[in-house]
Structure 1
Amino acid sequence: MTFSIVARCAQTGRFGVAISSSSPAVAARCAWVRAGVGAVSTQNVTNPALGPLMLDRMEAGAGAPEAVAGARDADGFPDYRQLLAVDALGRTAVHSGARALGIWTSAQGRDCAAGGNMLAHAGVPAAMVAAFEGAGGVLGDRLIAALRAGIAEGGEAGPVHSAGLLIADRESWPYAELRIDWIDDACPVAAVARAWEVYKPQADDYVTRALNPVSAPSYGVPGDA
C-alpha cells in the first residue's frame, strides 16, 4: 500500500525520505531520518518501532545492511514487513517479507533505495531510483523528482491519498517535514511537491530562527518590522 525512496546527499550529508500511499498519514508512521546517521522507511504492514531501531543501530556503528537485518530479526513478523535504509556512507539495504502485499519489489542505486508494495507494476521502484539519480538540485528536489516518477510510472495499483517529504540536515529536528495526511480527489504527491516549492526558499531561514533569532530575516507576516 506504499511506495517510497530513502536517500542521502553526498555533497551536504542530508538524509531524506519521500513516500506515498493509499493509506492515511503514511509519512507519520513510515518515514524516519536522523542527522548524521541515515534515513529509513518501515512499510507494508507497518511496525513504526522498526524505524528508530534501525537508526539506533546505524548510530551505534552498524551499516544499513546490518541495521535492516537487525530490525528484521528483532521483529516478530518479518514476513509482513518491508524495510529500506541508507546510511552515512551511502550504503543501502532493503528487506521485503514474503507476505508483502500485492506486487512488491525494490531497487537500489547510488545513495538511495526505493521500494513498494501493492504496486501498479514491478518497475515503479527502479523508475524512482533512476529519477533520483538523474535529477539536479538539492536533496528535496531529487526526492520529489523520484516521487513524481513513481506516480508517473503508475504508483500503487489504486489511488493514493497521502504523501510526505522528510529531510534531516545537521540539527536534531527535521530540516523539512511536509505531509499530506489525507486528500480525497487530488494527488497528494503533487500537493507535497507544491509544499516543497513554497518551503524550500525559507528552509534555511527557519534553521537560523531556531539557532540565532537575532540574525533571522524578516518573518514576512503582517506587522513584522
Structure 2
Amino acid sequence: MKKCIQFMLVAMVCGSQVKAQFFKNDEAFAHTFSIVARDPQTGEMAVGVQSHWFSVGTAVPWGEAGVGVVATQSFVNKSYGPLGLQLMKNGVTATDALQQLLDKDAGKEVRQVAMIDAKGNVNAYTGKNCIDYANHIVGNNYSVQSNMMLNNTVCKAMAAAYEKNNDKPLAERVLAALQAAQQAGGDIRGKQSAAILVVAGQATAQPWNDKKIDLRVDDHITPLVELARLLKLYRAYEHMDAGDLASEKNDMPLAMKEYGTAMSMFPKNLEMQYWTAITLANNKKIKEAAAILQKIYKQDNNWRLLTQRLPKVGLLNTSADDYQLLIK
C-alpha cells in the first residue's frame, strides 16, 4: 500500500517540481475532515477529527494546555504537531508557527494543517495537491478543514454547525461540526475512526490534569455515533465525580442528585449503580443501598464478592448487621 502511495505522490508532485523524497514510510495516509477550536469563555482548546483510516486519533490531533492545538492531515507529517506546539509555547503565534513549518517542508503541497493558540490566533493551510475536494474555512476562534471529500460542501456544513451550537460546551460543539460534515457527505471512502481532544486554556502545576477530554474510536462502522456515546458517558462520569465530592462534604441531597443524573443517562451501567449504593450504605441509608445491590447481584454476582472486599480497605463502613444486609 505504501509503495503505491509513494508512486502516486511522485506523479502528483513532479508537475510542481517538488522532490518525492519528502514522503517518509512512517507518515500516515490520513485524508479526513477536522476542526480546531477555542472557547473564548473557558479558554479550552479542542481538535475533532474523523477519517476512513485506522486510529486517526493517534496521528491528526495534538494539543497542550495553555499553548494551543494542531490538526495535521492529508499526507500526514506528524512533526507539525509537536513542533507547532513548541513554537507556540515559545511565544510564536499560530499563524507564524504554521508558516515557519511550511517553509521548511518540501512536501507542503500535499499537507493540510490547522493551528490555534491560547490567545485565539488561528491559521490553516491546504496544499494544492491535496485530493479533491479539499479546502478549509477559518472563522472566529476556529478552523475547519477537509480533503478527499465526496463533495465541496463539507467545510461549510462544519462551520455552520459549529457556529450554530455556540451554547454548548466545546467538545459538544466540535462533535456537532463533525456530525454535520458526515451528513454533508464526508470522506469519499467512508468512515472508520474518530477522535476528540480537549485541553485546558491555561496550564497548571498538575499537567496530568490539563488534558480535559481525550476520546478515540480507532475502528468502528459508525465512529461518530460511538464517539457521541463516549462523550455522553464522559459527562455521566463527571456527574458521578460531582456526587462523590458532594458525599465527601456530607451533602447527600446534592450527591444523590448527581448520581441520579448519571444513572438516568446510562440506566444499565452497573458501575454507576454500585457506587451509588455504596455511598448510600456509608451514609447509613442501608435499606436503599441493599435494594440497589440486590438488583446488581442478580445480574452479576461478582459485585457481591467486591462488596465483601470493601471493608478491609475502608471503603465500606457499616455495622456487622448492616453489612450482612448488604451482602445477602
**TM-score > 0.5, shorter chain as reference:** yes
> Is 1:164 aligned with 2:195?
yes
Separation in 2, partners of 1:202, 1:129: 29
Separation in 2, partners of 1:121, 1:91: 29
Q: C-alpha displacement at 1:200, in angstroms?
A: 2.0
Give SS of 2:54's match: coil
Q: C-alpha displacement at 1:74, in angstroms?
A: 2.6
> Is 1:199 aligned with 2:199?
no
AA partner of residue 56 (structure 1): Q
Separation in 2, partners of 1:122, 1:191: 26
Q: Is the 8 A contact 1:176 1:203 kept in 2?
A: no
Q: C-alpha displacement at 1:158, in angstroms?
A: 2.1
Q: Which of 94, 103, 106 is matched with 1:76 structurally?
A: 106
Q: Is the 8 A contact 1:32 1:51 kept in 2?
A: yes
In structure 2, relative to structure 1, the CA distance for the partners of 1:206 and 1:52 (3 Å cut) is farther
In structure 2, relative to structure 1, the CA distance for the partners of 1:177 and 1:187 (3 Å cut) is same
Separation in 1, partners of 2:113, 2:241: 31
- Report which structure shows greater RCO (CA 8 Å, sep ≥6): 1
Give SS of 1:142's match: helix
Q: What value does the CA root-mean-square deviation take over the aligned residues? A: 2.3
Q: Is the 8 A contact 1:25 1:180 kept in 2?
A: yes
> Is 1:33 aligned with 2:63?
yes
> Which structure has more helix as a fraction of its residues?
2
Separation in 1, partners of 2:241, 2:99: 36
> Is 1:178 aligned with 2:209?
no
Equivalent residues in 2 for 1:1-225, closer than 5 Å: 1-135=31-165, 136-169=167-200, 170=203, 172-173=207-208, 174-183=211-220, 186-203=221-238, 220=272, 223=307, 225=316
Q: Is the 8 A contact 2:70 2:80 kept in 1?
A: no
AA partner of residue 223 (structure 2): P
Separation in 2, partners of 1:38, 1:206: 27
> Which structure has more strand as a fraction of its residues?
1
Which ranges in structure 2 are unaligned for 5 or more consecutive residues? Answer: 1-30, 250-254, 260-270, 276-302, 308-314, 317-328
TM-score normalised over the length of structure 2: 0.62
Question: Which residue does the alignment assign to 2:325?
Answer: none
Q: C-alpha displacement at 1:205, in angstroms?
A: 7.2
AA partner of residue 177 (structure 1): D
How many residue pairs were aligned? 217
- The C-alpha deviation readout for 1:81-123, integer Å capped at 9, x for no partner, is 1100111222211111122123101111111001011012222
Q: Is the 8 A contact 1:163 1:179 kept in 2?
A: yes
AA partner of residue 163 (structure 1): A
| Deviation >4 Å, runs of 4+ | 203-207, 217-225
Q: Is the 8 A contact 1:110 1:133 kept in 2?
A: no
Which ranges in structure 1 are unaligned for 5 or more consecutive residues? Answer: none
Separation in 2, partners of 1:25, 1:32: 14
